[in-house]
Amino acid sequence: MLFVVRFTDLPGQGAIRAEFLQQHIDWLAERQAQIKVAGSLRHELGETPVGALWILEADNKAAVEAAFQSDPFWQQGLRQSVEIYHWSKALPDVIAQI
């Protein structure tokens, strides 16, 4: 099943993001088979991110929750909240290049 995960970061924690960014990117790279798309969210280009959005494949919501528990950003307390949604992709036969 496909899921969309939206993370909201704790305000004012840009230093945590900067310090652990490379570890987070490396962590994501090791999980490309499950985490299909991942990226930060900003209100304006050039601003510090306010959170992130992932699209991932998992058997259920519990597996999604287990997936992000070992993310350095999660472990270092950057994330304020997380929302997990089942996702039904429109036009399932169309492959999106990102």
Instruction: Write the CATH number for 61.
Output: 3.30.70.1060
> How many whole angstroms separate alpha carbon 90 and alpha carbon 98?
16
Residue 71 placed within a domain? yes
Give the confidence band of 91 by pLDDT, cuts at 50, 70, 90: confident
How does the average pLDDT of the chain come out, rounded?
95
pTM for the model: 0.90
Total of domains in the chain: 1
* pLDDT tens profile 51-86: 999 999 999 999 999 999 999 999 999 999 999 999
Residue 26 structural domain = 2-86
Residue 97 placed within a domain? no
- Residues 6 or more apart whose CB falls under 8 angstroms from that of 18 comprise none
> How many whole angstroms separate alpha carbon 11 and alpha carbon 37?
24
